[in-house]
Amino acid sequence: MADIAKQLLEDISGFPTLSPGETIAQNRLLDVIRRHYERTGYAPLETPLVERPEVLSAKSEGEITTQIYGLRLLNPEEGADDAKELALRFDHTIPLARYIATHSREIAFPFRRSAIGKVLRGERAKDGRYREFLQADIDVVGAGELSPLHDAEMVAVIAGIFTELSIGAFTIRINNRKVLAAIIRHMSENEDLIAPSMRIIDRLEKVGEEKTLAALTELGFKESNARMMLDMLIAKRSIAETIALLEQSLPGEAGVEELKAVLEGIEALGVPEENYAIDLSIARGFDYYTGSVFETRLDAHPDLGSIASGGRYDDLASAFAKDKYPGVGISIGVTRLLLRLIKAGLINAEAQTPARVLITTAERDALPTYLNYAKELRAAGVSAELYLEDKPLDKQLAYADKKGFPFALIAKREHLDKQIVILRNLATGDQKELSAADLTNYIK
Amino acid sequence: MADIAKQLLEDISGFPTLSPGETIAQNRLLDVIRRHYERTGYAPLETPLVERPEVLSAKSEGEITTQIYGLRLLNPEEGADDAKELALRFDHTIPLARYIATHSREIAFPFRRSAIGKVLRGERAKDGRYREFLQADIDVVGAGELSPLHDAEMVAVIAGIFTELSIGAFTIRINNRKVLAAIIRHMSENEDLIAPSMRIIDRLEKVGEEKTLAALTELGFKESNARMMLDMLIAKRSIAETIALLEQSLPGEAGVEELKAVLEGIEALGVPEENYAIDLSIARGFDYYTGSVFETRLDAHPDLGSIASGGRYDDLASAFAKDKYPGVGISIGVTRLLLRLIKAGLINAEAQTPARVLITTAERDALPTYLNYAKELRAAGVSAELYLEDKPLDKQLAYADKKGFPFALIAKREHLDKQIVILRNLATGDQKELSAADLTNYIK
């Protein structure tokens, strides 16, 4: 085996390695997300990372088409299939569309599925973008039709997750692309302006009002119309005020009816009022969305961007199947969310171990006794590591400190003889003498 | 968007898609594995799927070198970095070695880490081999030294997992490569025969005794010696008998002392006797292992092969670092294990939903009441799906049947008025009238 230059061992830009502490924090985050997805009835569906390039290309649009990774064997055996027909997924939606197209007969619709897994995109590694990241999605897909109550349930699921995560107040911003299109149409009769102006509006928060105005004028809007439109989109109003305004200015518009149905559903599903709002400026980049669109912000951390986004689409499996499959979904970019929450100090990633207790082993011959302590703790749901190296006690305690265990259990000969243990709180240094029988209760 | 030929939508050979039922079963399996890993103190470490080819090549050996997938952008933007420096991991060990080499100063040794994630190998897709599969590993790595008690703990963790999975009696077979090498050396003075004869012995179970004998003879052993060696390797003996035999025939051999220390540790850690045995014929393919080796079989399903394997290595990070990092680890091939257990009928993958109850919505205006039932159930840890389409009750129940919900909750106008619900057991068809207040208790 050859030695290898040190810089080759460093992380590759865009492909993050999480420390044990970060991974533990990630798993806690995923546990909450997964529990909410499951308890609402979204079934997990595990599709491979690898898809055919033709499948990915048939449903990709915009810059993503330049970001698809293909696979090839680096050192193929002679005569081996080369891997030119393989590529890596860049989202969970295309694998879902393929699954529905190939399994439509067995599926009971509406089909609710969750997908938690890695996706890969060959983005330029700037702006802290990741090329490999974990994405946690749910979608519900109907055969031919799908009630707007499903859009409402997406909002309820997001609200449930971020309430439980306790990372501060958040607002789910809701819009409908048909409403936004109607507003744009109101300001210019040129239908061709709708799609590009949505893309401009999508970047409003990033680039600011003035630049957006300039871009819209350049696109072909009268400046006064562009100004009026922006004013309408960004004015702060209550939900009732916004709905009243829309009913007045866009009478009979289908998007307004959809938006109202979704909002009624959200209320019926009991989502607290402070967790959601209408935001007419939400556009989402993809042309793919055709109705409801959602974004979620932490009120105290707008700089984090949207932490859970999604929307409604008319036809999931177009290009793959003749039948029409409308759906609605949301996606949480877990890797980005995790690392930003850690950086913002909103979640803790300090402890380098999942265990609560290090059981030190001061007397080597008492291993079965120490093991019994471990067994009792584990049976009670308390994870416990048994120190197995033959080292002096002070080295064992230094190990416990460095790794961030909350507690260390100490039982030297004199304690073993009396059937007691010392439990040391490693954060405070406090020690407590416990009978072996009381140990589990105390830690719990 | 272009239409796409139907056969392009089928699964690619070697890249399995799991159904929702299979994914639910997989998650149950992973939950058990992960809980045992964590409660013993193995910290999860999330490394990327993508590594540098130089890193993977520096520590790969044998046929795996021909199975490494490289990445390249399929349709790179002009001027984009091409992706020639990227490749996909084929195991969790090399990423661990890289992590230790680059973080040795921060790490508290012994370093215990778990890794649960996908790995990819461009194998020929025969023998039901997968090219993408989920692997769940733990390893513990020391700085310079590592007690044989860690080898013993690996056996205890495997025993804990397979006991909890309740998929039948199992035996963890334990050997030591130094012992096997000494036995081979006993039969021929040619040191060069050791490595190739271990590879032959590794295939003993697959190809049978006669072919193994022929291969050993062809390699250069006297036929009588090869026969004597095989007899020694495959004879059934108790642990005590095997140890006595080894002490007598290989006096002073270091491997025998190691094996004894590991077995003493296993006993001290309380692993039930029926769960493990010495098997002198266990070799493991890789030259990489230098001491203990483990394989695990289901007693009633030897055809499933080893369901959890591993061993001890002298130096994890050779090629990456100057210091010596001995370690021991085990690996469970989750995808293969899952699909074989389902096929053998040992685990169930029928239910296509994680929810226990479908709450039907016979009266559209009573949605808040139905939602309250859902909330109560979910708060009590019972996952519940709320049916949101506007369909007649019989269609809702047909949906529940097709998807495999254990229960359906029915509340028509007359029930709502009396504040009762009907709970239908969908497997038996039995119905029970419950007060709304008793609902949760009954289902739990």
CB atoms within 10 A of CB A237: 14
Contacting residues of B for A367, CB less than 8 Å apart: 149, 268-269
A112 touching B (Cβ < 8 Å): yes
Q: In chain A, which residue's Cα lies nearest the Cα of B31?
A: A31
**Of the candidates B428, B407, B403, the residue with the CA atom closest to the CA atom of residue B360:** B407
Q: What percent of chain B has pLDDT over 90?
A: 81
In contact, B270 and A368? CB cutoff 8 Å = yes
Subunit contact A4:B55, Cβ cutoff 8 A: yes
State the pLDDT confidence band at B444, using cuts at 50, 70 and 90: confident
**Of the candidates A220, A290, A11, the residue with the CA atom closest to the CA atom of residue A130:** A11
In this prediction the pTM is 0.95
Q: In chain A, which residue's Cα lies nearest the Cα of B142?
A: A389
Q: What are the per-10-residue average pLDDT scores of chain A (444 residues)?
A: 76 94 97 96 98 90 87 83 79 96 95 98 78 97 96 97 96 97 92 92 92 95 94 94 96 96 94 97 85 96 91 90 95 95 93 96 94 90 95 97 96 95 96 89 80
Distances A121 to A88, A95, B50, B91, B392 between C-alpha atoms, Å: 8, 15, 12, 22, 44
Pairing, β A69-73 against β B69-73 = antiparallel
Q: How far is B228 from chain A (nearest CA, A)?
A: 35
Write the class of the CATH domain B357-443: alpha beta
Domains of chain A, by residue range, sit at 8-343, 357-443
pLDDT per position as a tens digit, B264-297: 999 999 999 999 999 999 998 767 899 999 999 9
Q: In this complex, which of B113, B122, B371 lies closest to A73 when CB atoms are compared?
A: B122
Subunit contact B388:A88, Cβ cutoff 8 A: no
Q: Please give the interface size between A and B, counted as residue pairs whose CB atoms are below 8 Å apart.
A: 309
Interface test with B, best of A15, A30, A361, A388 (most B CBs within 10 A): A388
The predicted pLDDT at position B82 comes to 56
Q: Among A366-375, B82-91, B153-162, whose mean pLDDT is lowest?
A: B82-91
In contact, B116 and B98? CB cutoff 8 Å = no
CATH number of A8-343: 3.30.930.10
CB atoms within 10 A of CB A362: 17
What's chain B's average pLDDT?
93
The predicted pLDDT at position B332 comes to 97
Say which residues have a Cβ less than 8 Å from residue A92's Cβ, sequence separation at least 6: A47, A115, A117, A119, A135, A137, A139, A331
Q: In this complex, which of A10, A38, A46 lies closest to B383 when CB atoms are compared?
A: A38
B215 touching A (Cβ < 8 Å): no
Q: Which A positions 378-397 lie with beta carbon below 8 A of chain B?
A: 378, 381-386, 388-390
Subunit contact B39:A149, Cβ cutoff 8 A: no
In contact, B142 and B126? CB cutoff 8 Å = no
The predicted pLDDT at position B437 comes to 82
- The residue written with tokens 């067994």 in the block is A375
Q: How far is B210 from chain A (nearest CA, A)?
A: 30
B403 touching A (Cβ < 8 Å): yes
Subunit contact B74:A68, Cβ cutoff 8 A: yes
3-state secondary structure of A140: strand
The predicted pLDDT at position B2 comes to 44
**Buried b or exposed e, range B344-364, using 16+ CB within 10 angstroms:** eebbebebbbbbbbbbbbbee
Subunit contact B388:A54, Cβ cutoff 8 A: no
Subunit contact A75:B52, Cβ cutoff 8 A: no
Interface test with B, best of A27, A28, A69 (most B CBs within 10 A): A69
ipTM for the assembly: 0.94
Q: Can you say whether residue A110 is alpha, beta or left, with left for phi > 0 and alpha for psi between -120 and 50 degrees?
A: beta
Q: Which neighbouring-strand residues pair with A301? A: none
Peptide bond into B110 cis (omega under 30): yes
Subunit contact A16:B48, Cβ cutoff 8 A: yes
Q: What percent of chain B has pLDDT over 70?
A: 97
Average pLDDT for B233-245: 95
Q: In chain B, which residue's Cα lies nearest the Cα of A73?
A: B69
Peptide bond into A110 cis (omega under 30): yes
Contacting residues of A for B46, CB less than 8 Å apart: 17-18, 22-23, 26
Say which residues have a Cβ less than 8 Å from residue A199's Cβ, sequence separation at least 6: A283, A285
Q: Can you say whether residue B387 is alpha, beta or left, with left for phi > 0 and alpha for psi between -120 and 50 degrees?
A: beta
- List the structure tokens of A54: 């033709």
The predicted pLDDT at position A96 comes to 97
Determine the Cα–Cα distance for residues A386 and A384; give it in Å rounded to an integer. Answer: 7
Q: Which A positions 337-376 lie with beta carbon below 8 A of chain B?
A: 352-355, 358, 367-368, 371, 375
Q: In this complex, which of B17, B319, B368 lies closest to A1 when CB atoms are compared?
A: B319
CATH architecture of B13-343: 2-Layer Sandwich (3.30)
In contact, A386 and A370? CB cutoff 8 Å = yes
- Residue B372, classified by CB atoms within 10 Å of its CB into exposed (0-12), middle (13-18) or buried (19+), is middle
* Sheet with A384-386, side-by-side order of all strands: A384-386, A357-359, A407-410, A420-425, A431-435
Subunit contact A1:B58, Cβ cutoff 8 A: yes
The predicted pLDDT at position A1 comes to 41
Dihedral (C-alpha) B181, B187, B193, B199: value to the nearest 10 degrees? -60
Contacting residues of A for B8, CB less than 8 Å apart: 52, 54-55
Subunit contact B40:A385, Cβ cutoff 8 A: yes
